[in-house]
């Protein structure tokens, strides 16, 4: 169905009027190419320990990459015995728990921050330091603009998710013994994570201090994808939103109902990322049947387009990118929250059947199994995180639209809030 003239005109204006670099002033963020143990003074770029040493590493690498000529503006997301990361990235000292915070310094907040590849990382300091909040994309880009080789890379932080010192910090990053808290590149939890040995080699995450111009979220076309809030066993017909459907059709119905409830466009186009003995997820999310090996039944493939979350952030550049084992960022629930409960997939990252599929999603018997994913990861674990028993009742689904969406804010209500400044 063609778009109404007003919507078509709006979309064309968007393509013309909003290049990716439209924002005039932004702060940068990068993952260090350098690595080292928990004794910061042992790193090649500094002879200082703790926050001071981490800041010197960040500043040196920024200057070497041409990001900060002659200006000391880059600080590490790192906490030591005297200063919390939350304060440090504002150019302050002290603790977040101080009254007033940060030794009484004038808090400026910070951001928006973009990675050195131009992708929006976070809109503000509040977004990434409120405990449950997360950045839009992972901290996976080096000061050079290159992507880190391994998403299993860890980041020294010594911090909680609020940017405050934790009990494990390599004694304020002065020693290479004991344990220190380290964030993760393969999830959105850059600021905190399981402790790791201080003698190991990890990286730092560097923030440019200051406040820049607001950066809009992307509004480019793409296939939408999300993780269901609904959970249940491998017998998909038993789910509350299955609406009388069974097997894989029940999974699609769950996705469609959540898309409808979330007011996404074309909710009837959504399909679950699931494989069966006769159909691969690779084909299903293109609106087709069959297997990847038989060319999805020899059907004509739909046009390539990026896969995006409903907030506009790109998950993958196209289907080949989606199925190569590494996402650009994790898939989220429609609420914008990270799902930690696991997902039914029955699929490898290439979208083909991997192991069993709970009897084609009909059998909840204990001992019958299916491949499951973990939605917090951008590594292959997003679809392949281990076989699990089909009687488990706390796993969700990945839901993908089979049509390209141009924009979606309150589409049915005729109120395109994200495009209002572009309407005539």
Do 95 and 27 lie in a common domain? yes
Do 248 and 329 lie in a common domain? yes
For residue 76, pLDDT beyond 60 = yes
Q: Domain containing 64: what range?
A: 22-208
pLDDT digits (tens, 9 = 90+) for 90-144: 999 999 999 999 999 999 999 999 999 999 999 999 999 987 779 999 999 999 9
What pLDDT shows up at residue 423? 25
With 0-12 / 13-18 / 19 or more C-beta atoms within 10 angstroms meaning exposed / middle / buried, residue 262 is middle
Residue 64 within a domain:
yes
Report the C-alpha gap between 93 and 317 in whole angstroms: 41
Give the 3-state secondary structure of residue 106: coil
Do residues 275 and 264 touch, judged by C-beta distance below 8 A? Answer: no
Do 232 and 352 lie in a common domain? yes
Do 200 and 234 lie in a common domain? no
Q: Which residue shows structure tokens 């939605």?
A: 375
Residue 17 within a domain:
no
For residue 7, pLDDT beyond 50 = no
pLDDT digits (tens, 9 = 90+) for 157-202: 999 999 999 999 999 999 999 999 999 999 999 998 899 999 999 9
Do 171 and 291 lie in a common domain? no
Beta-carbon contacts of residue 43 (< 8 Å; ≥ 6 apart) = 34, 36, 53, 57
Report the C-alpha gap between 395 and 289 in whole angstroms: 24
> How many domains, the chain?
2
Do residues 302 and 308 touch, judged by C-beta distance below 8 A? Answer: no
Residue 420 within a domain:
no
Rounded to the nearest angstrom, the gap between the alpha carbon of residue 400 and the centroid of all alpha carbons in its chain is 16
What are the angstrom distances between the C-alpha of 359 and each of 38, 101, 127, 198?
49, 57, 42, 46
Four-CA torsion 128, 134, 138, 144, nearest 10 degrees: -20
Q: For residue 172, give the CATH number of its domain.
A: 3.10.100.10
Residue 415 within a domain:
no
Residue 13 within a domain:
no
Do 116 and 244 lie in a common domain? no
For residue 414, pLDDT beyond 60 = no
Residue 307 within a domain:
yes
What pLDDT shows up at residue 253? 99
In three state form, how does the secondary structure of 362-392 look?
Answer: CCCCCCCEEEEECCCCCCHHHCCCCEEECCC
Query: Average pLDDT, stretch 216-226?
Result: 95
Q: How many CB atoms lie within 10 A of CB 360?
A: 20
Stated length of the chain: 424
pLDDT digits (tens, 9 = 90+) for 264-308: 999 999 999 999 999 999 999 999 999 999 999 999 999 999 999
What pLDDT shows up at residue 408? 52
Do 121 and 66 lie in a common domain? yes
Do residues 330 and 378 touch, judged by C-beta distance below 8 A? Answer: yes
- Examine the fold and report which residue of 184, 208, 232 is the final residue of a domain before the chain moves on: 208
pLDDT digits (tens, 9 = 90+) for 349-386: 999 999 999 999 999 998 899 999 999 999 999 999 99
Give the 3-state secondary structure of residue 232: strand
Residues 44, 48, 50: CA angle, nearest 5 degrees: 110
Do 317 and 248 lie in a common domain? yes
| Percentage of residues in the chain having pLDDT higher than 90 | 85
Report the C-alpha gap between 310 and 308 in whole angstroms: 6
Do 171 and 305 lie in a common domain? no
């Amino acid at each position: 169905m063609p778009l109404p003239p007003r919507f078509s005109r709006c979309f064309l204006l968007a393509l013309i009027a909003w290049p990716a670099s439209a924002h005039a002033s932004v702060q940068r963020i990068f993952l260090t190419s350098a690595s080292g143990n928990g004794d910061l003074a042992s790193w090649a770029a500094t002879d200082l320990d703790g926050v001071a040493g981490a800041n010197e590493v960040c500043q040196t690498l920024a200057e070497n990459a041409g990001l900060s000529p002659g200006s000391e503006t880059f600080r590490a997301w790192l906490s030591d015995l005297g200063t919390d990361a939350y304060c440090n990235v504002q150019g302050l000292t002290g603790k977040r728990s101080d009254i007033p915070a940060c030794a009484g310094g004038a808090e400026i907040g910070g951001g928006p921050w973009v990675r050195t590849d131009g992708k929006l990382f976070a809109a503000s300091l509040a977004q990434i330091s409120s405990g449950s909040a997360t950045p839009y994309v992972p901290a996976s880009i080096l000061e050079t603009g290159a992507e880190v080789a391994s998403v299993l890379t860890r980041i020294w932080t010594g911090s909680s998710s609020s940017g405050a010192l934790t009990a494990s910090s390599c004694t304020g990053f002065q020693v290479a013994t004991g344990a220190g808290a380290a964030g993760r590149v393969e999830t959105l939890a850059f600021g905190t994570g399981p402790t790791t040995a201080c003698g190991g080699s990890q990286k730092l995450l560097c923030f440019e201090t200051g406040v820049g111009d607001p950066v809009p979220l992307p509004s480019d076309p793409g296939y939408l994808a999300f993780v269901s809030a609904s959970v249940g066993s491998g017998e998909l017909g038993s789910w509350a939103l299955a609406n009388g459907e069974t097997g894989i059709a029940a999974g699609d119905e769950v996705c469609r109902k959540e898309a409808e409830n979330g007011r996404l466009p074309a909710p009837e186009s959504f399909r679950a990322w699931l494989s069966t003995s006769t159909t691969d997820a690779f084909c299903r999310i293109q609106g087709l049947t069959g297997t990847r090996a038989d060319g999805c039944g020899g059907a004509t493939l739909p046009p390539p387009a990026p896969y995006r979350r409903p907030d506009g952030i790109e998950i993958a550049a196209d289907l080949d990118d989606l199925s190569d084992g590494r996402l650009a960022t994790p898939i989220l629930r429609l609420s914008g929250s990270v799902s930690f409960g696991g997902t039914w997939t029955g699929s490898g990252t290439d979208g083909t059947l991997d192991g069993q599929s709970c009897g084609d999603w009909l059998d909840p018997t204990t001992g019958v199994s299916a491949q499951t994913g973990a939605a917090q990861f951008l590594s292959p674990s997003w679809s392949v995180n281990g076989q699990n028993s089909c009687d488990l009742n706390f796993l969700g689904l990945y839901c993908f639209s089979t049509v390209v969406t141009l924009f979606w804010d309150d589409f049915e209500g005729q109120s395109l809030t994200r495009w209002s400044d572009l309407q005539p």
